[in-house]
Amino acid sequence: MTEYYPWQETQWRSLTERRLQDALPHALLLHGPSGIGKADFAARFAHSLLCQQNHADGRPCGRCPSCLLYAADNHPDSYLIEPDKEGGQIKIDQIRALIADIGLSSHSGGYKVVIIRPAEAMNTAAANSLLKTLEEPPAKTLIMLLAEQLTRLPATVRSRCQIVRFNLPDKALAQCWLVDKLAEKKVVLANPDDAARLLAMTHGAPLKAFADAEKDLLGLRKSLFESLAGLAGGRLDPIKTAGEWVKIEQSMPIKYLYDWVSDMIRLRQVPGCFGERAEYQKVLHSLSGELDVQKLYIYLDRIAESLQLMAQLNPLPIIESLLIQWANIPKQKTGTQG
Ligand SMILES: [Zn+2]
């Protein structure tokens, strides 16, 4: 069952009111960081528009024929446009097919609802082919575009949509939700502070935090972080460690490495900035306290490049090279370079 979250109440009410006044725009651009539930909100609102017997607050009834079709992922007036693989593009053929489909009258006589996500994935031709439809869509059609970064969307697309902003939820609210959700799904945390730590690690995005907990990433992250310290201290061999890291899916260790090095740089610029996570701050400091910040910046760029390369090339030598570099940074202390 799709849902919207307690931190999305304002957006839900505002859109529901406009719907009741028959004043919904044709195109909405749902904008905000990842991991906070924009996609679920869009799905819930789509469901609500398709339901034939909504509750007074706009929630779908869950029982009418439309709701049953929607729940079975089979509603003919509901359209989802996304890349065919993660990180891929949304292509012009997909948009053309969509335009042809929504040009026909709706199957159930009600709304037609389109979700495009992430909108940034539309290539230029796809985005251009959507412009006319965004401006003059068929009657009773709502197009919802989901985006994290508005600057990556053409201005011509942005200007044809009404922007609905989603912010990171309030910390206490997010933590409360996370604790409830983990309990509901019987995900057991090793210690009571873990919910707060999970949230901090995902920069306050509760859905991402929940997904991480489910995948037991907390333990993985801890062991990766320890191996980083082992490499820096010369206790671990970079080649052997790379052989272990490469087995972990989705380049996860390298994504973490990127986060950690970013945090090391931040800590050097704003001492004490991770004060709420004293232990993490202490380890970060012990790992990077004496390193040349410029070298850390260069290393961070290398990680970013490596992440792109790993998608196309054999990742093992790339990880090896990164870890060898990491193991060697500590020798280049501030003031001794050159
Ligand atoms: Zn219904």
pLDDT tens sequence across 20-38: 999 999 999 999 999 999 9
Distance CA 8, CA 293 (A): 39
| pLDDT, the chain, mean | 89
**51 CA to middle of ligand 1, Å?**
4
Give the burial string for 208-239 (b: 16+ CB within 10 Å, else e). bbbebbeeebbeebeebbebbeebbeeebebe
**20 CA to middle of ligand 1, Å?**
16
Residues with CB under 5 A from ligand 1 (ion): 51, 60-61, 64, 67
What pLDDT does residue 164 have? 98
**297 CA to middle of ligand 1, Å?**
53
**184 CA to middle of ligand 1, Å?**
26
Domain spans of the chain? 6-165, 170-215, 218-338
pTM score: 0.70
**67 CA to middle of ligand 1, Å?**
4
pLDDT digits (tens, 9 = 90+) for 194-243: 888 889 888 999 999 998 888 776 778 788 888 988 998 889 999 999 99
What pLDDT does residue 2 have? 65
> Is 6-165 CATH 3.40.50.300?
yes
Is it the case that residue 337 has pLDDT exceeding 60?
A: no
Query: Which of the four pLDDT bands, split at 50, 70 and 90, describes residue 157?
Result: very high
What pLDDT does residue 189 have? 67
Tell me which amino acid residue 211 is.
A
Distance CA 28, CA 263 (A): 34
**137 CA to middle of ligand 1, Å?**
25
Domain boundaries 218-338, corresponding CATH code? 1.20.272.10
